[in-house]
Structure 1
Amino acid sequence: MTEITSKRPGEEVNLESSGLAQKKLWNINFYLLLQGQLFSVFGDNIYDIALRVWILAKTESTAIMGVLMAVTYIPRVIISPFAGTFVDRHDRKRVLIISDIICGVSTILIGIAAIIGFLKIWMVVIVGVIVGSCSCFFYPAINSIVPDIVPKSKLIKANSIFSLINTGDNIMGNAIGGFLVQIIGAPISFLVNGVSFLLSAISQYFIKVPQIEFTSNKVSFLQDLRDGFNFIKKSKGLKQLYIILCFFNFFASMSMMLTLPLFKANNNLGIGLYGVAMAINGVGMFLGFTMLSTIEIKKEKRFHLFIISGIITSITMIIYSLTVNFYLIAILFFINGFAVAIINSLIQSSIQISVPSNMRSKAFAFKKTLSSGLMPLGMILAGVLAEKIGMNIVIFVDYIIFCILFVYTYFLSSVKKIINEIPIISY
């Protein structure tokens, strides 16, 4: 596998090409990476439902829930750029394992505290900060590893398959999670997530990951961080894409935060059907990723597909805000999931292909910071507005603006080049 590299004087990138650069998509490292994610994502979905239900039960306020979710999210925005630089300079496999172990132990402790009736809001916040901080290291490492263990010609298919497996896990986690929380309660659900993290760590221990080595000690951590920032800054398309994603995620986070409370507050829906609805959304995503893993989309068509998918996403959520009919909601969530899968896969693959290997973790870390910078504000705003004007109205207005943003993006030629995978000039 030929790597695009970016070097400074005195620096060398070594990807251990003697056998680790795989020629086949389905190789043992790809299998192990997928297996680890299966354990982790399944537990995460159950935990997410359990946590939201527990917070709502304790506070009975969407505003407080929004604030608490935002507080645990803020560290992710702050830490991500430093985490990306750290990952690019260290053993990525070790980063994955340590992150999973810390998350697993922390979540198990939360579960034990909940079982014995000792769990407090501040404890949930602290563990949320810990898990969120670990994700800042975990996901740049994952996104950086995938292009190094599969052929570049198979990268879009690899990302689609990776997302396909995760989405299948999401379907099971959400479908089971809503009813599981009702049957066994949040505490046991917390324990399930903790164990899933530890199983993920065990799976990742056996992965062989190519190393990115810096042979010169002259490059400091801060210089490396600045180089990553400058790389993003000099790429107009990448910079604009990140800013646009920031606003996309701001509005998406508002509706995401309100969906479970909306189901819980409506007698025709409920927590159990919330899990079913999210599972159906996952089925849509599953089929979307399946399509991208089997059908080759021409480069010149990818941007148009990206925009159309964004508009479809908006329309489904606008209609969703106007109905309490679960059957209609199920159809809308299915279509929404299909469109979201296309959006995410195109963005992910385009960045992986365009960015040099020793800038990749930093690029994804800066993406996380810039694209997620407004999400905590969105969560707080959604919780407050929901109590003032109603959850349905917030979601309706939210996705009207979301749709307008996608239409605006259509006219950004530099973003079009990124989505169509025209490589960025190496730094």
Structure 2
Amino acid sequence: MENWKRNIILFLSSQTISLFGSSLVQYAIMWYITLTTESGLMMTLYIVCGFIPTFLLSPVAGVWADRYNRKRLIIMADGMIAIATFILAIVFLLGYKEIWLLFVMAAIRAVGAGIQSPAVGAILPQIVPSDKLTQVNGINGTLQAVMMFVAPMASAALLTMATLEAIFFIDVITAAIAILTLLLFFKIPVHVKAAAEQTTSYLADFKQGLTYIQQHPYLKSFFLFFAVFFVLMAPASFLTPLQVTRTFGDDVWRLTAIEIAFSIGMMAGGAIIASWGGFRNKVHTMAFASLIMAVCTFALGIAPFFWLYLAFMGAFGIAVPLFNTPTTVMIQERVDESYLGRIFGIFSMISTSMMPIGMLIFGPIADVIAIEWLLIGTGALMVVMSLLLSRNKQLLEMGKPLQSTSI
């Protein structure tokens, strides 16, 4: 992998720049809808429009990531979002500011994310040596956490000084910079499957991906664990702002504080996993991190003071990169390169859909049962899931260092 450091710096830089612009627009639209409509229904529609397309497209996008040039797919997705954002900015400047246009934009952005996610996950092993994947994924996680920390504040500041259309144009500019960086400077050979003549249909390729999972039982255990664990994470992910409002007070600074605590935790966690690398067995790192998240979820349900609540929220944030990074690296290391896109597509579908499904379960219950009890209950179940993960022999075998075992 000649010049891999140059390539990864260019790639991560382009993705971070693009993510910053996208995050600015995401928060700006969310707040614009909130301030304009003051409607929970409108916000729900916006959230649904933002995840349904990704969920539906991910399996197909996974096939594309294996069949076609992954670099071009990433550029195409960024370009599609940038063009749609530019058109929306022009329409808004002309005075046509209907809310439904923002729902359409959310759906288009979700389509772009659905195309990008499997391609980005699958392209990293092409440009990064296997022994550096944990470090690079950890750095990538830290950069994303920084964007999560900076983007809300930057978006809020921009909304006080500029119009929504101006923020749209910033996103177009950041996307253009990211696209030009990949086009002009990022050189990477096409992976083997994409370079070969395609002799099978899309459906056949997708079925081959499912067959690959059937032939590798550790993947079935892996996906099952994540599906259940993400459902259980829903109360901690979505209901904590409501809990804070009900329990500690409806001050805006409190809601801001929990977001900041979580983001700072994620930045710290990304730096820790990038420098430490985790335990020798990646499943041990995943189980350790999931146990921290489980304990923090339980603790959020019993914390008597707000400052202690913030401490547990920060610890939860630290655990997220410790959990996500070895998860991603294990897929990148263990799955055949020709199937990486499809496996990441299915993984993206699970990660996109399970927490919203969890909200369909726990959201209505939160109006009947105190959120504290939901956090205590799901936290306890997450502890059980973490212990089961740490004892899964198939996953433990796959979590070993590459030189210690075979695929």
Question: TM-score normalised by the shorter chain: which range applies?
Answer: 0.7 to 0.9
Which amino acid in 1 is paired with 2:317?
G
CA distance in 2, matches of 1:87, 1:309: 29
Per-residue CA deviations over 1:71-123 (Å, capped at 9, x if unaligned) read: 43122122111111112111211111111121123334445656776444432
* Aligned equivalent of 1:314: 294
CA distance in 1, matches of 2:95, 2:309: 36
CA distance in 2, matches of 1:87, 1:296: 27
* Aligned equivalent of 1:257: 238
What pairs up with 1:206-221 in 2 under 5 angstroms?
206-212=185-191, 213-221=194-202
What pairs up with 1:231-242 in 2 under 5 angstroms?
231-242=212-223
Paired residue secondary structure (1:305): helix
Q: Percent identity?
A: 20
CA distance in 1, matches of 2:114, 2:321: 22
Per-residue CA deviations over 1:43-98 (Å, capped at 9, x if unaligned) read: 33333433433444455455663454134312212211111111211121111111
* Aligned equivalent of 2:77: 99
Contact 2:62 2:118 in 1 (8 A): yes
What pairs up with 1:23-422 in 2 under 5 angstroms?
26-27=5-6, 29-58=7-36, 60=38, 62=40, 65-66=43-44, 68-110=46-88, 118-177=96-155, 180-181=158-159, 188-205=166-183, 206-212=185-191, 213-260=194-241, 268=249, 270-271=251-252, 274-300=255-281, 302-322=282-302, 326-389=306-369, 394-420=374-400
Which stretch has the larger CA shift, 146-155 or 49-58? Answer: 49-58
Q: 1:218 to 1:305 in 2, by over 3 A?
A: closer
CA distance in 2, matches of 1:415, 1:358: 21
TM-superposed deviation, 1:412: 2.2
Per-residue CA deviations over 1:244-269 (Å, capped at 9, x if unaligned) read: 11222223344433345566778856
TM-score by length of 2: 0.85
* Aligned equivalent of 1:7: none
Q: 1:262 to 1:47 in 2, by over 3 A?
A: farther
Which amino acid in 1 is paired with 2:221?
Q
Q: 1:328 to 1:179 in 2, by over 3 A?
A: farther
Which stretch has the larger CA shift, 69-78 or 368-377? Answer: 368-377
Q: 1:388 to 1:243 in 2, by over 3 A?
A: same
Paired residue secondary structure (2:5): coil
CA distance in 2, matches of 1:240, 1:394: 26
What pairs up with 1:15-26 in 2 under 5 angstroms?
21-22=1-2, 26=5
Q: 1:185 to 1:407 in 2, by over 3 A?
A: farther
Contact 1:306 1:342 in 2 (8 A): yes
Which amino acid in 2 is paired with 1:211?
V
Paired residue secondary structure (1:26): helix
TM-superposed deviation, 1:408: 3.0
Contact 2:330 2:399 in 1 (8 A): yes
Q: 1:262 to 1:152 in 2, by over 3 A?
A: same
Unaligned runs of 5+ in 2: none
Which amino acid in 2 is paired with 1:208?
K
CA distance in 2, matches of 1:194, 1:398: 41
Aligned residues: 403
TM-superposed deviation, 1:239: 1.4
CA distance in 2, matches of 1:255, 1:119: 34
CA distance in 2, matches of 1:166, 1:262: 26
CA distance in 2, matches of 1:383, 1:193: 33
Contact 2:285 2:326 in 1 (8 A): no
Q: 1:191 to 1:375 in 2, by over 3 A?
A: farther
> How large is the RMSD of aligned CA atoms in angstroms?
3.2
Q: 1:321 to 1:269 in 2, by over 3 A?
A: farther
Which amino acid in 2 is paired with 1:417?
E
Which amino acid in 2 is paired with 1:45?
S
TM-score by length of 1: 0.81
Q: 1:99 to 1:194 in 2, by over 3 A?
A: same
Paired residue secondary structure (1:367): helix
Per-residue CA deviations over 1:8-33 (Å, capped at 9, x if unaligned) read: xxxxxxxxxxxxx23x6522x11111
